[in-house]
Structure 1
Amino acid sequence: MLRRSALATGLLLLALPAFAPARTVYECMRDDTLSLATAPEPGSRCTPRHVDDRKAKVANFWGELGPVRAPHYEGRINGRRVISTRALPGWKQVDSVVSLQAPRDSWAHAGLGSVGRPRLDAFRTQFRAAARRNGVDEAWLRAIAHAESGFDPSAVSPKGAQGVMQLMPTLAREYGVSDPFSSAQSIDCAARHLKALMRRYRGDMALVAAAYNAGTGAVDRFGGVPPYAETRLYVDKVQALHARYRTALRRASARS
């Protein structure tokens, strides 16, 4: 297994695109789904992102914004070959990302699923206070709430998670939460838990999100994001939501 992993890693490095360390790709929103593209997608609202391939934790086509799962699609815009993670009309799926000079396991979604619009109205004071009190990013805290419950303080999952931040009973007890359906207690508990996870994983927010979803035991056992489809999709969704909340909060701050 170790020899096979080492060989795969070597092949990935050989397959990397000959990009300069810093380049521009685009995060594109359409119908509340996010995709990545090498040029602005027609019909989408696209934001340029300057990525540094040297900061990517895993060799992948999208540099530090990746990797992401599922097919890539290819089309032409103004005669230029463009790659996107969204299936645009008339575009063809790329059979192998190796043909893009990207590693074989460079994942990509046709969008990152429905993420919805940022909601800054829900529990505005409580999110801001909990984030400041615990020294965590309010955009991350809101992204977790959005992904977990859609800001529903009465939400209960099939696995027994409760409240706005979907606290499992054992976690709620660990942090001294007396009422998991209290939005204030739930948000504060999640902020404290996120702070602890950030220390544990040295600020690697992909691992923090994975641990929030699957638990620290699973992350530690696999030495990274666990190979559970649910957890990997969750991490992608939270990261997409974080980008949207970061932008929304910055705009709200500029208006105030």
Structure 2
Amino acid sequence: MTLLFLVGGISNALADIYKYVDKYGRVTLTDKPNNSKYKKLVKTWKGWEQAKSQIALKDFDKNQQRHSSTIDWVAKRYGLPPSLVHAVISAESAYDTNAISRAGAVGLMQLMPETAKRYGVVNRRNPVDNVDGGTRYLRDLLVMFDNNLQLALAAYNAGEGAVKQYDNKVPPYKETRNYVIKVIDFYKEYQEKEV
């Protein structure tokens, strides 16, 4: 399978990123903080976290090893590079089967209830079922967007409707643009390890 890497419009140069959460829970990310309430984030295996947080890299490695053969098998079953599925899982859950997002996404591939239902996943916490449903969804997004990896990843993050709404371009959402960059970075790292 050939995947297109189109980087126009998404910068791969990563500046320092700062996060601020206001009293209403609204999150602001910026590279130019205008007050001391912004906290610097750092890129980790789990994504972007506050600089002071401790990263449990041993848990990441242990969980990755525990689920690696299942992920590889499912990816190959659906014709996707295992390194791509690993990259999505790294960005989505850092291999934490118990991960739950504020939006209600659950498991390794962070399946939303509607997506799980669409792909017949009854137990989103079951790693095999979750990876199976998430991998089929990713494969279908790649087909939908003519193997354009950036668009498929943007759709995985923001929904295919958001990508279509913006004329088959990556939506102008910071979270989605950062997500696409992060997954592609992980994907490249995993591809290098396979060689």
Q: Is this a same-fold pair by TM over 0.5?
A: yes
Report what 1:187 is aligned to.
Answer: 131
Partner of 1:15: none
The equivalent of 1:114 in structure 2 is 43
Instruction: State the one-letter code of the partner of 1:142.
Output: H
Kept in 2, the 8 Å contact 1:144–1:238? The answer is yes
Say which of 68, 86, 107 aligns to 2:11.
Answer: 68
Q: Does structure 2 retain, via aligned residues, the 8 Å contact 1:139–1:246?
A: yes
Structure whose residues are more often strand by fraction: 1
Within 1, Cα distance between the matches of 2:94 and 2:161?
A: 26
3-state SS of paired residue (1:114): strand
Per mean C-alpha deviation after superposition, the further-off stretch among 181-190 and 120-129 is 120-129
| 1:141 and 2:85 correspond | yes
Q: TM-score, normalised by structure 1?
A: 0.55
Match of 1:235 among 169, 177, 180: 180
**Among 145, 163, 167, the residue aligned to 1:219:** 163
Aligned to 2:191: 246
Residue identity opposite 2:11 in structure 1: V
**Counterpart code for 2:174:** A
Query: CA RMSD for the aligned pairs?
Result: 2.5
Runs of 4+ in structure 1 deviating by more than 3 angstroms, as ranges, are 55-58, 117-120
Structure-2 residue corresponding to 1:129: 73
Higher relative contact order (CA 8 A, sep 6+): 2
> 1:57, CA displacement in angstroms?
4.5
Describe how 1:1-256 pairs up with structure 2 within 5 A. Answer: 57=6, 67-68=10-11, 114-116=43-45, 119=61, 120-223=64-167, 224-250=169-195
Aligned partner letter, 2:129 = Q
The one-letter code matched in structure 2 to 1:131 is A
Determine if contact 1:141/1:191 at 8 Å carries over to the other structure.
yes
Cα pair 2:10 2:177 within 8 Å, conserved: no
How many residues end up aligned between the 2 structures? Answer: 153
Cα distance in 2 for partners of 1:194, 1:213 equals: 10
What's the CA shift for 1:126?
Answer: 0.7
* TM-score (ref. length: structure 2): 0.71
SS at 2:125 equivalent: coil
Structure 2: 5+ residue runs without aligned partners? 17-30, 32-40, 46-56
String of CA shifts for 1:27-46, please: whole Å, max 9, x gaps: xxxxxxxxxxxxxxxxxxxx
Instruction: List runs of 5+ in structure 1 lacking aligned partners.
Output: 1-54, 61-65, 71-84, 88-108, 251-256
Flag the 1:236–1:56 CA change in 2: closer, same or farther, 3 A.
closer
**Post-superposition offset of 1:249:** 2.6
The Cα shift of 1:113 comes to: 5.4
> 1 CA distance for matches of 2:92 and 2:5?
27
Q: Name which one, 1 or 2, has greater alpha-carbon Rg.
A: 1
- Indicate how the Cα distance of structure 1 residues 128 and 56 shifts in structure 2: closer, same or farther if over 3 A, else same: closer
Stretch of structure 1 that moved more, 162-171 or 114-123: 114-123
Q: Secondary structure at the match of 2:100?
A: coil
**Offset at residue 121 of structure 1 (A):** 1.4
Sequence identity, in percent?
34
Given that 2:163 and 2:170 are in contact with CA atoms closer than 8 Å, whether structure 1 keeps it comes out as yes
